[in-house]
Chain A
Amino acid sequence: MKKLLKTDLDTLFQAIASRQTLYIPVEDAGKQAAFIPYAPGLVMSTALNTARSAKDLFFPQVESLVNFRMDGKHIEIVSAEAEAKPFVLFGVRACDARSFDILDRVFYDAEPQDTFYARRRDLGTVVTLACSAPEETCFCTAFGIDPAEPAGDVSVWESGDSCLFRANTEKGEALLRDLPLEDASDGAADAAKDAIRKITDLLPLKDLDLTPFGAGKTQTFFDDPAWASLSESCVGCGTCTFVCPTCQCFDIRDFDGGKEIRRYRCWDSCMYSDFTQMSAGQPRPTQKERFRQRFMHKLVYYPDMHEGLFSCVGCGRCLQKCPIHMNIVKVIRTLGEETK
């Protein structure tokens, strides 16, 4: 384990940023934190989490796939591949770190692999930060995530006036190797971890019970009458899907810029009515079906496809941002309660 005085954090950022692009969470005027490229003078946010998740760095909201030039009946394909450079993502919380595993199974480990996602994933080094102050909306522990032991290439703990660094992967070791860090004992972060676990034990959502859900539960929940009442006030704004670190649905669209046509993909939401609209009909005609799709996917379909892993990390963003205060916790409690 390595350590650094908190007051020297900016020096460390400068050292990293001199070699690679460094993204850190920074607050805007509205106190919303987001991962942006480090520049001298920027201060790392102390907020528990960024307003938007860290998935942007690997699965950006909009990205070009390919360009076309049209000339009469002729079409020419023009590569849209942007130059990609190594980067460091600093200050990812344990929940978002798990979300990368969930996205990896869709984009990285899948056949065929998503080369756009994979390239960013290969180039990125993830430095996680243990949560010293989890909030009431946090329920990562329900998914077996320990906010005191965040994954990633490097894990960082705040302890007194110091930050403690532990490399978890070769990529992480390579990053720490050249940085101005002092040695620390292996157990140096133990006190910090204990303090975090004391807080997580007090969180109101820590006992959220996921056992009724998971692989093989489609028949149990699909026709549950509770979907109608749960979805009744959903306005279909899609905010939950946009702030969600695991939502991965996208659209592919063309933009005709005159000289070239740009084919890009952008985030989409299963909460939108046109998501599944076809000229021949609509398999999810009302908000009830769309709402059900989103939660069934996170709690049953994704686990079905990926060895029981849930597609939720308990980050709590949807709890904070939903304009009608509907969220996955209410869904889990309502449906889960009925099975008892």
Chain B
Amino acid sequence: MNDALIPQIGVVTQIRVETPDVKTFRVVGLDGKKPFEHIPGQCAMLSIPGVGEALFSITSSPTVEEYLEFSIKKCGCVTDWLHSMEEGQEVTIRGPYGNGFPVDTDFVGKDLLFVAGGIGLAPLHSVINYCRARREKYGTIDIVYGARSMADLVDYREILDEWSREEGVSVHLTIDNAQPEWDGHVGFVPNYVTELKPDTSKTVVMCGPPVMIKFTLSGLMELGFDRRNIYTTLELRMKCAVGRCGRCNIGSKFVCKDGPVFRLDELDELPNEY
């Protein structure tokens, strides 16, 4: 029996440039098929032997049957290497890891508000597209997404051409500073969320830089949101992703297997060390 730490080989069949420092990588198995099934919010370990292994959110929706996709920001050893490779490159892949979002339970029938900043859209992309594909199971979908500049918005074409045009889906984009070619909202994500005055019955799914999470949260609290209706997904350094290597714990919970998705009231129970 192969150990969970032994990966399989995957082939990168497509690389898309999303922003100056984010690329999306499409991965299939050696047989040309999707390497494994997953739940939105789950992650996988990608590696280049000799460089290292790192954990990434699976960006594609489980409803995509042909491949897995990962939107990855260039910010360290492994990601530098991934950004430098060409289509056709083989990588190693293992997973899926983590709990994922409760898309088939708690989210069903709810109005959903997605709040993302920068590369924080990556883990939510999977959820958003899953919910779009099973549209009848959910209420309205609101997406508030911001980045430093227009060029830093990940999945910009897909957002404009697909998400924005869909009935029942409202997209609210914002960038930090005004740009001549931008006629949309300018400002930080937390302020934009407050300005939009979302109904407190919505279920919130957040991912972004810690400072965005912090200020968005205080805005949501002021609006009167219930902490049990707010979800986020975390990431800490991991080596094994199966709860053995001992480094991604927050108190008694391992982000790799008890997370990465946590409800806010669950996070409140954990020590503030993430």
**Interface positions of A (Cβ within 8 A of B):** 65-66, 68, 70, 73-77, 106-107, 110, 112, 114-116, 218, 222-223, 248-254, 256, 261, 263, 265, 268, 270, 275-281, 283-284, 289, 293, 296-297, 300-301, 304-305
Contact = CB atoms under 8 A, between A and B. Distances in A.
A218 B252 contact: yes
Contacts of A300: 251-252
A245 to B, nearest CB: 15
B49 A70 contact: yes
B247 A252 contact: no
A74 B239 CA distance: 24
Contact of A263 (B2, B49, B240, B273): B49
Interface stretch (B89-97, B173-181, B185-193): B89-97
Interface size class of B (residues with CB under 8 A): 35 or more
A254 B90 CA distance: 17
Interface of B: 1-9, 47, 49-53, 75-76, 79, 86, 88-92, 210, 235-237, 239-240, 242-252, 270-271, 273-274
A77 to B, nearest CB: 6
B237 A115 contact: no
B50 A261 contact: yes
A276 B53 contact: no
A223 B251 CA distance: 12
A261 B47 CA distance: 12
A263 B246 CA distance: 18
Nearest to B246: A249
B273 A284 contact: yes
A123 to B, nearest CB: 15
B236 A218 contact: no
Contacts of A283: 236, 250, 273-274
A77 B50 contact: no
A279 B75 CA distance: 6
Contacts of B249: 293, 297, 301
Contacts of B248: 276
A115 B1 contact: yes
B243 A110 contact: yes
